[in-house]
Amino acid sequence: MTSHSEEAILQEIAETQKRQRDLSTAIKSKAKLQKVECEGVSALKPQVDTVAELLQKFGATSDACSEIGFPDQLAQHAPTLLLILELSSSDVVVSYALGQGRTHREDMSAGQLWDVDLRSGVAAGIEWLYILAPEEVTASLLEQDEKLMYRLGRYVVEHKLFHWTIKQNCESGVSPKNRQLKTQAARSIPTTLPAKIQTQLRNFFLNDDRTSRYWVHSFCKRWKVKPRSRLQAGENMDSKLVETKVSWL
């Protein structure tokens, strides 16, 4: 037979287990409620601006330049954007900010990429970013991580190469072959890069190995260089369409 004391202990254990189950249920209910509330608040918040949108808004404030401060939201992107500007031009930085040639995905349509107002706004933002950047940022642009300088230097080369291919196609009716492309890429390396980075890029483009051949294929996809879309020399085209009408062999 079970003694009175044993029954009391078993009853206490049962009550403790019940309290634990009730507490666990309450915790789960509270967590679920908090998740629903957080999702509701998130749905009301605007989506985070892209770098291009931030630059466009920053550029739009230029009429009140005396009140502009260096934008915290762009601070982490400033070294990258300003280094590209140091290596090339504002047009290249705008293309980079808009995502042209950076991925295989269709993040923006051709119309958006070449929208005059959008590009002008982004360019103005980049100009103000340079003007208002702390001196320690602008003074050390060419002292950044070598991998970053190599990657951005290659982007600058690809941007030049894209427009060179357009010119060859539309003005001369020429469809450059892979070797011509790689040779031109080597000629397009920014001379402002450290000598070590220039050498690395030159070796990359001029080596006839699997890596460089894959780069040709990747360049074609990312910059929307379409094969066998040859134009006749001197053929007139709308300026927006010219950017997508590049031949390739």
Residue 3 within any structural domain of the chain: no
* Any domain includes 2: no
Whether residue 224 is contained in a domain is answered as: yes
Residues 20 and 78 in one domain: no
Residue of 60, 176, 67 lying closest to 126 (CA atoms) = 60
Whether 40 and 118 map to the same domain: the answer is: no
Nearest 5°: phi and psi at 235? -65, 130
Based on the domain organization, do 149 and 247 belong to the same domain? Answer: yes
Answer with the one of 98, 114, 144 that is the final residue of a domain. 144
Structure confidence at residue 246 (pLDDT): 42
Q: Which of 137, 159, 114, 130 is nearest to 59 (CA)?
A: 130
Pick the last residue of a domain from 113, 144, 175. 144
Question: Are 130 and 166 in the same domain?
Answer: no
Residues 137 and 149 in one domain: no
Shared domain for 249 and 178, answered yes or no, is yes
Per-residue model confidence as pLDDT tens for the chain (249 residues):
456 677 777 777 777 777 777 766 666 665 554 544 444 333 333 334 789 988 998 888 755 454 567 778 888 899 999 999 999 999 999 999 999 998 876 556 666 788 888 999 999 999 999 988 888 888 888 888 899 999 999 999 999 999 998 888 777 666 788 889 999 999 999 999 999 999 999 999 999 889 988 999 899 889 987 644 444 444 444 454 455 444 333
pLDDT at 101: 92
Tokens of 137: 């940022």
**Residue 22 CB burial class (10 angstroms; 0-12, 13-18, ≥19):** exposed
Q: Which of 110, 144, 178 is the last residue of a domain?
A: 144
Q: Domain range holding 216?
A: 145-249
Based on the fold, state whether residues 139 and 178 are members of the same structural domain: no
- Give the list of residues 6+ apart from residue 124 with CB closer than 8 angstroms, or none: 56, 58, 59, 60, 62
> In sequence order, what are the residues at sequence separation of 6 or more whose Cβ sits closer than 8 angstroms to the Cβ of residue 177?
249
**Same-domain check for residues 122 and 173:** no
pLDDT of residue 160: 96
At 104, the amino acid letter reads: H
Residue type, 218: S
The total of structural domains in the chain comes to: 3
Residues 240, 204 share a domain: yes
Cα 52–chain centre separation: 9
Same domain, 36 and 75: no
d(CA 109, CA 100): 10
CB atoms within 10 A of CB 63: 7
At what angle are helices 195-206 and 178-187 packed, to 10 degrees? 170
Q: Are 14 and 30 in the same domain? A: yes
Q: Kindly report the pTM of this predicted structure.
A: 0.70
Q: Give, as one character, the DSSP assignment of residue 62.
A: G
Q: Does residue 1 lie in a domain region?
A: no
Name the nearest CA neighbour of 157 among 104, 120, 212, 112: 212
Q: Looking at the structure, do residues 59 and 99 belong to the same domain, yes or no? A: yes
